[in-house]
């Protein structure tokens, strides 16, 4: 029996993708365990996995952590409406500053945790190097659960830019501003890894490809055309890693029970923008459809819910999406890949990070539509919903992509590649 350590970023996208792979590792008779931030305590144990916790920020109580995230979200809601290049100096800068701190803090606990687990392989789904994982002496795998352009190439859009695939001028503008903005943060990070015995990275680079194995969750049917092909001996596309979830029974609605079913979710971060959700509710209440609305930790903010709308704090997405006719989401990688995997059209209203990249990509490959998260009127939203429900080309593209993805199960493929490495 091999012990495989999964170390995903403290965010639900990477965390739940790793769960999908770990479920397959366990099926094959091996021992997957999780290393995670203390703020994610219980996320993996509920799926039956052993957890080992590290502090990835200054320790604080659950109440302090909750307040920190509420303040963070509220402080950045105005930035969610900005174009990606205009988010570099605020949201993107603040995120990279915090991400560097996670690496610094983790180094205090991580060596001892690894010595306790004694993993045969370490799988890291993050955007930054944790020196202890590279130096432990066992093979390590980099999992890229965000957009494929996290591994850069001169001919594809820069990560987080939301540029179209042929917007070379936009590539340069975004990249120049990004490098200028993150330079002080990058210098701080290079100083830290140098103290840990690692070579400094070029400006703008916070992680490297693994010399052993790199797994891209990006679906191959929508992947970019690179100038420099990735070595198939070290890079493998997984086409998403859809985890197994409990069965979901769609509730009976007081109205529109024969209507189309739409699932609406903007992730745990996006749920903080309750004003936007209330605006969407007011429009969707006028339609003939049924709506499942994921409101995260803000359920108490909503009263007088329309009869064709059902709200909850969480839904088992891989069990919900196959039953839906349409999904409206923020462009997070789980939602992006799950819609493609199950062949369900999506309207993506991105607000931060690789949501911009995924929204542009789903639009230009004709698997859905990209919309600005706030610059729309009622008619535009309703017309886009009706278009996606009825457009034959998009439905055919989704059918073909879904068939391809399901014929090459990404989680199973990942598990076998990791165990071969072990």
In terms of Cα–Cα distance, which of 296, 188, 308 is closest to 253?
308
Q: Among 15-24, 155-164, 353-362, which is the least confidently predicted range?
A: 15-24
Find the helix or strand (DSSP H, E) in which 378 lies: helix 378-390
CA distance 114 to 277: 42
Residue 64, pLDDT above cutoff 80: no
Residue 68 banded pLDDT, cuts 50, 70, 90 = confident
Residue 54, pLDDT above cutoff 90: yes
149 in Cβ contact with 333 (< 8 Å): no
Q: What is the pLDDT of residue 40?
A: 85
Within a 10 A sphere around the Cβ of 106, how many other Cβ atoms? 24
Residue 70 banded pLDDT, cuts 50, 70, 90 = confident
Residue 289, pLDDT above cutoff 90: yes
Residue 206, pLDDT above cutoff 70: yes
Give mean pLDDT, residues 60-82. 80
Give mean pLDDT, residues 53-61. 84
Mean pLDDT (the chain) is: 93
Residue 240, pLDDT above cutoff 80: no
Q: Among 133-147, 231-245, 389-403, which is the least confidently predicted range?
A: 231-245
Question: Per the structure block, which two tokens stand in for 151?
Answer: 């591994």
Q: How many residues does the chain have?
A: 422
Q: What is the pLDDT of residue 72?
A: 79
CA distance 331 to 146: 10
317 in Cβ contact with 334 (< 8 Å): yes
294 in Cβ contact with 270 (< 8 Å): no
Q: What is the pLDDT of residue 243?
A: 82
Alpha helices in 285-354 (DSSP H): 317-320, 333-342
Domains of the chain with bracketed CATH = 3-241+408-421 (3.40.50.2000), 261-407 (3.40.50.2000)
Find the helix or strand (DSSP H, E) in which 326 lies: strand 326-329
DSSP 222: G
347 or 62: whose pLDDT is higher? 347
125 or 146: whose pLDDT is higher? 125
Q: What is the pLDDT of residue 63?
A: 74
Residue 62, pLDDT above cutoff 70: no
Residue 266 banded pLDDT, cuts 50, 70, 90 = very high
Give the distance, in angstroms, between the CA of residue 46 and the centroid of all CA atoms in the same chain.
20
Q: What is the pLDDT of residue 66?
A: 67
Find the helix or strand (DSSP H, E) in which 264 lies: strand 261-265
Residue 116, pLDDT above cutoff 80: yes
Residue 241, pLDDT above cutoff 90: no
Q: Could you report the per-residue pLDDT of 296-349, keeping only the tens digit for each?
A: 989 999 999 999 999 999 999 999 999 999 999 999 988 999 999 999 999 999
Burial class for 227, CB neighbours closer than 10 Å (0-12, 13-18, 19+): exposed
Q: What is the pLDDT of residue 230?
A: 95
């Amino acid at each position: 029996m091999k012990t495989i350590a999964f170390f995903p970023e403290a965010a639900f996208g990477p965390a739940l993708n790793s769960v999908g792979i770990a479920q397959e590792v366990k099926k094959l008779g091996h021992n997957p365990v999780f290393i995670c931030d203390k703020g994610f305590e219980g996320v993996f144990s509920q799926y039956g996995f052993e957890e080992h916790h590290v502090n990835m920020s200054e320790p604080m109580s659950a109440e302090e952590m909750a307040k920190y995230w509420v303040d963070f979200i509220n402080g950045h809601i105005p930035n969610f409406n900005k174009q990606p290049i205009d988010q570099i100096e605020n949201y993107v800068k603040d995120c990279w500053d915090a991400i560097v701190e996670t690496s610094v803090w983790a180094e205090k606990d991580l060596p001892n945790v690894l010595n306790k687990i004694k993993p045969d392989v370490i799988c890291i789904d993050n955007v930054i190097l944790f020196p202890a994982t590279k130096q432990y002496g066992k093979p390590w795998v980099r999992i890229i659960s965000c957009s494929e352009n996290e591994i850069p190439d001169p001919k594809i859009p820069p990560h987080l830019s939301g540029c179209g695939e042929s917007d070379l001028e936009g590539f340069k503008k975004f990249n120049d501003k990004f490098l200028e903005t993150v330079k002080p943060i990058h210098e701080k990070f290079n100083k830290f890894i140098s103290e840990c015995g690692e070579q400094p990275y070029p400006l703008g680079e916070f992680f490297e490809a693994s010399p052993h194995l790199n797994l891209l969750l990006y679906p191959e049917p929508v992947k970019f055309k690179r100038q420099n092909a990735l070595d198939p001996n070290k890079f493998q596309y997984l086409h998403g890693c859809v985890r197994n979830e409990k069965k979901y029974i769609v509730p009976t609605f007081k109205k529109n029970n024969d209507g189309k079913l739409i699932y609406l979710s903007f992730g745990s971060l996006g749920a903080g923008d309750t004003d936007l959700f209330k605006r969407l509710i007011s429009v969707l209440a006028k339609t003939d459809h049924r709506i499942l609305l994921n409101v995260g930790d803000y359920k108490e903010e909503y009263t007088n819910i329309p009869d064709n709308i059902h709200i909850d704090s969480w839904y088992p997405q891989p069990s919900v999406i196959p039953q839906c006719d349409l999904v409206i989401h923020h462009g997070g990688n789980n939602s992006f890949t799950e819609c493609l995997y199950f062949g369900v059209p999506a309207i993506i209203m991105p607000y931060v990070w690789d949501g911009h990249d995924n929204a542009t990509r789903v639009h230009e490959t004709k698997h859905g539509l990209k919309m600005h998260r706030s610059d729309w009127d009622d008619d535009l939203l309703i017309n886009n919903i009706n278009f996606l429900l009825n457009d034959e080309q998009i439905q055919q593209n989704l059918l073909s992509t879904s068939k391809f993805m399901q014929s090459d199960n990404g989680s199973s493929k990942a598990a076998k590649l990791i165990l071969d490495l072990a």
